[in-house]
Structure 1
Amino acid sequence: MAPVIFGAVVLVTAAFAFLNGFRDVSNAVALATRTRALTPSIAVLLAAFFNFIGALLSAGLAVAVSQHWITLPPGSSGLSILIAGLVSACAWGLLMWWRGMPSSSTHALVGGLAGAGLASLAVGGTGVGGVDQSLLFQVVLPLVLSPLVAYSFAFFLVYPATWAARHTQPNVVNQRFRRSQAIAAGAVAFGHGLQDGQRVSAVLLLALLAAGYSDGGTMPVWVALLSAVMITAGTLFGGWRISHTIGHKITRIDPLRGSVAQIYSAVMLFVGAIALHWPLSTTHTVTSAVLGAGENQNFAVTHRKLVFRILGLWALTPAATAALAFILALALSPLAG
């Protein structure tokens, strides 16, 4: 039974990676297309290329992530927990995409794994080890800190950018910042690949460990390729519902502010993935930076009701996926026996 469940985990992880790219492409392309820095087709191709490179290079980081993330019970029990957590995260991601709401795939996944682990304990099995620290360092702290940091720095970085452009004609300013925004879009996509590629590869590595197919010390080439290819495929199919929300609905943005938001978001993603090994949500980082840069204007431009609705959904994400995964894991418990 374990090989069959392992195959199912691989398929569901591939679907999760596809949906990750499908939904999160908006983080890279929304502002660039909103300000006409790039055409939609060029923006998506650029995002897909840099997502692929980032996800492929993240494979080495994923080994460290899996070793310090969570531990699963061996055999069918651990694999069933993964399936329940992944299906829950996919279902929530599809719902948020349908409603055009940006939300974090990482928070959905960690919440799902926590709920599935609780279900395993409820039926007398072994839970998920280290999930309390994962919830703290991958959900609670990033949920509170990364949006605040992204919003605050993007807001204040608009001041030096506008000061530097104070004697330049507006059309020249827009032209220059559209060029930098095209570069920033690729940088955000690369940062997204680094961040989210780690999570997808780490899930597959955990599945290999639970199934007894790996000792967790190295990353198989097929795992890195599957993660990169599926995230890239999702990016190419691009979900424009969320792009419309980020680029048009939450605030009014111009090339200068869009460039500030995306450049700072990319810096946060790079530092988090490479230097600090912190799992930052690309969606939370970019959305908060866009709000911060857009707020730094002399007139009201933010759709505050929509912003509060998004914040509420961010807080609800781990709880909702945990509840759904709990139910799914209970339904799958006969397979883990």
Structure 2
Amino acid sequence: MDAALFAVIAVIAAAMIFDYTNGFHDAANAIATSISTRALTPRVALGIAAIGNFIGAHFGAKVAKTVGSGLVTLPQGTASLGIVFAGVVGAIGWNLLTWYFGIPSSSSHALFGGLVGATLAGVAFGIDATVLWSGIWKNIIIPMVASPVAGFILGAIMMTAIMWIFRRGHPGKLNRGFRIAQTISAVAMSIGHGMQDAAKTMGIIVLALYVGGYQSSATHIPEWVFYSSATMLALGTYAGGWRIIRTLGRKIIDLGPAEGFAAETVASAVLYYNALVLGAPISTTHTITSAIMGVGATKKLSAVRWGVAGNIVTAWVLTFPGAAVLASVIYLLTHWVF
């Protein structure tokens, strides 16, 4: 086996592992609210999320192209594959660290931070690579701020509308109705998660194929890449990240079926808009968490456990640089192999 083929296989294997960890790390994004309100049993919810992830992946081409060609430029050759490998492994490390502590950080920003950190380390070793800071600003930083703000505001608006529309309704009947509605919103959320998160792995695989010399385009996505990325994300999702599910479903606010429906509906709408219209790789974690906070704040500000929320926001801020540092260390340890 020649060096280039070995390097491409190593990167694809690492990307598949990342995809799996992304699935169980972010399973909570799609179904934590449905489980906590007892709208769905845990295994049914995870099954719905896995199927939704698989379907959604096939609508994430715009996001995959942004990841594959809009964040860094790498010369063709095995040295660049070492950068991609280190970036993905750094992201895996950050995912496992935050999963262990039950912190719903962004797998997306872990991947982006890892790719940037490894690229900068490669530049320090003389590789002719470039971080596209304008692309980072446009596609990562601005959406990182805008999507949680949108989730929070729209979550508060939608929950306020629900409370006003159903203000004279019978609580028991309303709860039963919103539990049924949550099945639909959970499906929508899981498809949106697939559009975003499977697409990011697809972008990494396409980047590896391009710099490895196995395809001439940095944006073309082979069909097998769609299916493999979708399958690994779905399998990881079905495995379930119970530590993070507990944090999202129980520790931020006490969710009822109406609150869960509002949060999921708003978050999925934000995900769809960014994936299908803008092609922006936003964080599903940031979006659903902020929507939950917005929904909870309509009761009263004290309904949101701001201490837990503060810990989550701290993890958001640290994810990009933390994964970048991990990836740069991984590159220092592994670059001689490529």
TM-score bin (small chain): over 0.9
Q: 1:88-120 deviations in whole A, cap 9, x for unaligned?
A: 000000111111110111111111111111111
**Residue aligning to 2:187:** 186
Match of 1:206, as an amino acid?
L
Match of 1:183, as an amino acid?
I
- Which whole-Å CA distance do the structure 2 matches of 1:247 and 1:121 have between them? 42
Cα deviation, residue 301, structure 1: 1.9
Task: Indicate how the Cα distance of structure 1 residues 202 and 290 shifts in structure 2: closer, same or farther if over 3 A, else same.
Answer: same
- Which whole-Å CA distance do the structure 1 matches of 2:310 and 2:167 have between them? 33
Task: Indicate how the Cα distance of structure 1 residues 239 and 208 shifts in structure 2: closer, same or farther if over 3 A, else same.
Answer: same
Q: TM-score, normalised by structure 2?
A: 0.95
**Residue aligning to 1:136:** 137
Q: 1:101 aligns with which of 100, 103, 116?
A: 103
- Matched ranges for 1:56-67 at <5 A: 56-59=58-61, 62-63=64-65, 65-67=67-69
**Residue aligning to 2:161:** 160
Q: 2:278 aligns with which of 276, 284, 290?
A: 276
Match of 1:79, as an amino acid?
L
- Matched ranges for 1:172-321 at <5 A: 172-216=173-217, 218-298=220-300, 300-321=302-323
Q: Which moved more, 1:174-183 or 1:51-60?
A: 51-60
- Which whole-Å CA distance do the structure 2 matches of 1:28 and 1:93 have between them? 17
Q: 1:121-174 deviations in whole A, cap 9, x for unaligned?
A: 1112222342x1343134321222211111111012211111110111001111
Contact 2:86–2:118 at 8 Å: present in 1 too? Answer: yes
Task: Indicate how the Cα distance of structure 1 residues 249 and 64 shifts in structure 2: closer, same or farther if over 3 A, else same.
Answer: closer
Match of 1:279, as an amino acid?
P
Task: Indicate how the Cα distance of structure 1 residues 186 and 320 shifts in structure 2: closer, same or farther if over 3 A, else same.
Answer: same
- Which whole-Å CA distance do the structure 2 matches of 1:185 and 1:113 have between them? 31
- Which whole-Å CA distance do the structure 2 matches of 1:64 and 1:31 have between them? 30
- Which whole-Å CA distance do the structure 2 matches of 1:327 and 1:61 have between them? 27
Q: 1:163-189 deviations in whole A, cap 9, x for unaligned?
A: 110111001111111111111001000
Contact 1:104–1:314 at 8 Å: present in 2 too? Answer: yes
Match of 1:167, as an amino acid?
R
Cα deviation, residue 30, structure 1: 0.5
- Which whole-Å CA distance do the structure 1 matches of 2:272 and 2:4 have between them? 37
Contact 1:18–1:233 at 8 Å: present in 2 too? Answer: yes
Match of 2:212, as an amino acid?
A
- Which whole-Å CA distance do the structure 2 matches of 1:60 and 1:151 have between them? 25
Match of 1:308, as an amino acid?
G
- Which whole-Å CA distance do the structure 1 matches of 2:176 and 2:205 have between them? 44
Task: Indicate how the Cα distance of structure 1 residues 106 and 137 shifts in structure 2: closer, same or farther if over 3 A, else same.
Answer: farther
Match of 1:213, as an amino acid?
Y
**Residue aligning to 1:32:** 34
- Which whole-Å CA distance do the structure 2 matches of 1:312 and 1:49 have between them? 31
Match of 1:37, as an amino acid?
A
- Which whole-Å CA distance do the structure 2 matches of 1:127 and 1:12 have between them? 21
**Residue aligning to 1:148:** 149
Contact 2:72–2:119 at 8 Å: present in 1 too? Answer: no
Gaps of 5+ in 2: none
Task: Indicate how the Cα distance of structure 1 residues 35 and 126 shifts in structure 2: closer, same or farther if over 3 A, else same.
Answer: same
Match of 2:177, as an amino acid?
R
- Which whole-Å CA distance do the structure 2 matches of 1:79 and 1:307 have between them? 37
Q: 2:325 aligns with which of 307, 323, 326?
A: 323
Q: Which moved more, 1:213-222 or 1:174-183?
A: 213-222
Share of identical aligned residues, percent?
Answer: 37
Task: Indicate how the Cα distance of structure 1 residues 215 and 279 shifts in structure 2: closer, same or farther if over 3 A, else same.
Answer: same
Task: Indicate how the Cα distance of structure 1 residues 332 and 126 shifts in structure 2: closer, same or farther if over 3 A, else same.
Answer: farther
**Residue aligning to 1:13:** 15
Match of 1:245, as an amino acid?
T
Cα deviation, residue 304, structure 1: 1.3
Match of 2:277, as an amino acid?
A
- Which whole-Å CA distance do the structure 1 matches of 2:293 and 2:63 have between them? 30
Q: TM-score, normalised by structure 1?
A: 0.95
Match of 1:47, as an amino acid?
A
Aligned CA-pair RMSD: 1.5
3-state secondary structure, aligned to 1:174 = helix
**Residue aligning to 2:336:** 334
- Which whole-Å CA distance do the structure 2 matches of 1:202 and 1:209 have between them? 10
Gaps of 5+ in 1: none
